């Protein structure tokens, strides 16, 4: 059986690989690292690029934390007094050019052991894309890449996790999706998947290693595109929707805050600048209108 220490070690390796690849793709930006400790147990490595050549703000974080669950989390899990361990890699990238999409990736492992000895363990994670402008060829490339990864492990994973992402990354108060989705999954274990623990861990790592080649391809496709003033303003508005989702609905943000995580690391997902335009209406036939029309659940990108 794989141990939590082995999982954390492999996740740190994936963080290293992704940071090295993103620095090459950016061309000038270098990650600044902060090592932090958590009151109650554990800590992490926060790595941030700000004002790079391509990446205006990029965070690639690793954490491994443990201790007693706070009351809010106990109520969610329906338990009384439990010890927990959680480790993972979390990424959010806000590019400078609005034709390059925002991207989020997370792979994580959680285990909890109660005073009575009952054990709960699972993997979660996913990758999703939030384009400022939806480019349909890019959307198809992104989803086909995720399907290719999922199909190596289970024929149902992509369709199940794609629908899960559509539902999860939905801004209810706006009645629109945060972006074009991707895959999202939680509480994967042998009972929920039919796979062995080792295979689920391999899937988690494969998701993590799908991120870099996919995003570098999207960067290279779009980084040389010229940007007009109205396109930059639209980028700031789309970023505001991203911020709204992360502050109102995102379970990872809530878990980090509820477990006394490091605030700067938790909120690294927020963009460096965002605008809230009152009562915005896209011009008919514009790229902005086209994008708004594609922020819906259930679209088939394969």
The three state secondary structure string of 228-282 is CHHHHHHHHHHHHHHHHHHHHCCHHHHHHHHCCCCHHHHHHHCCCCCCCCCCCCC
Residues assigned a catalytic role: 104
As a whole number, mean pLDDT of residues 18-22 equals 98
Residue 78: per-residue pLDDT: 58
Residue 81: per-residue pLDDT: 57
Greater confidence, 116 or 225?
A: 225
> Over 90: is that where the pLDDT of 39 sits?
no
- Give pLDDT tens digits for 203-247: 999 999 999 999 999 999 999 999 999 999 999 999 999 999 999
Tell whether pTM > 0.85: yes
Structure tokens at 194: 């039919």
> Over 90: is that where the pLDDT of 35 sits?
yes
Residue 80: per-residue pLDDT: 54
Rg for the chain, CA atoms, rounded = 19
Distance CA 224, CA 29 (A): 17
pLDDT band at 298 (very low <50, low <70, confident <90, very high): very high
Per the CB < 8 A criterion, the answer to whether 210 and 150 are in contact is: no
Spatial CA neighbour of 20 closest among 58, 66, 77, 56 = 58
Residue 87: per-residue pLDDT: 97
- Give the chain's mean pLDDT: 93
Residue 195: per-residue pLDDT: 97
- Give pLDDT tens digits for 117-132: 667 899 999 999 999 9
> Over 70: is that where the pLDDT of 73 sits?
no
As a whole number, mean pLDDT of residues 191-200 equals 97
> Over 70: is that where the pLDDT of 116 sits?
no
Percent over 70 (pLDDT), the chain: 94
Residue 72 three-state SS: helix
> Over 90: is that where the pLDDT of 264 sits?
no
Percent over 90 (pLDDT), the chain: 83
Q: Which of 58-67, 165-174, 250-259, 279-288 has the lowest mean pLDDT?
A: 250-259
Residue 209: per-residue pLDDT: 98
Distance CA 196, CA 203 (A): 11
- Give pLDDT tens digits for 153-192: 999 999 999 999 999 999 999 999 999 999 999 999 999 9
């Amino acid at each position: 059986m794989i141990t939590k220490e082995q999982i954390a070690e492999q996740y740190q390796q994936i963080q290293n690989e992704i940071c090295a690849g993103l620095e090459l793709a950016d061309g000038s930006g270098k990650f600044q690292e902060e090592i932090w400790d958590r009151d109650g147990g554990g800590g992490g490595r926060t790595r941030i690029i700000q004002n790079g050549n391509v990446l205006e703000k990029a965070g690639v974080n690793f954490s491994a934390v443990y201790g007693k669950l706070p009351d809010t989390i106990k109520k969610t899990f329906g338990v009384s007094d439990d010890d927990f361990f959680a480790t993972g890699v979390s990424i959010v990238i806000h590019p400078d050019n609005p034709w390059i999409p925002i991207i989020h990736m997370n792979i994580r492992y959680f285990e909890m052991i109660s005073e009575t000895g009952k054990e709960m363990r699972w993997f979660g994670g996913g990758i999703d894309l939030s384009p400022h402008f939806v480019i349909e060829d890019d959307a198809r490339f992104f989803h086909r890449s995720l399907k290719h990864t999922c199909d190596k492990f289970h024929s149902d994973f992509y369709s199940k996790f794609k629908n899960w992402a559509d539902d999860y990354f939905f801004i209810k108060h706006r009645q629109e999706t945060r972006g074009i989705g991707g895959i999202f999954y939680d509480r994967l274990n042998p009972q929920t998947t039919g796979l062995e623990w080792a295979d689920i861990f391999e899937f988690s790592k494969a998701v993590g290693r799908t991120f870099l080649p996919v995003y570098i391809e999207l960067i290279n496709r779009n980084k040389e595109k010229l940007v007009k003033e109205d396109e930059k303003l639209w980028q700031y508005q789309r970023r505001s929707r991203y911020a709204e989702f992360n502050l109102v609905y995102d379970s990872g943000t809530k878990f980090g805050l509820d477990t006394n995580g490091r605030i700067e690391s938790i909120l690294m997902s927020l963009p460096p600048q965002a605008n809230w335009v009152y009562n915005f209406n896209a011009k008919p036939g514009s790229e902005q209108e086209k994008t708004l029309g594609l922020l819906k659940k259930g679209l088939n990108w394969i």
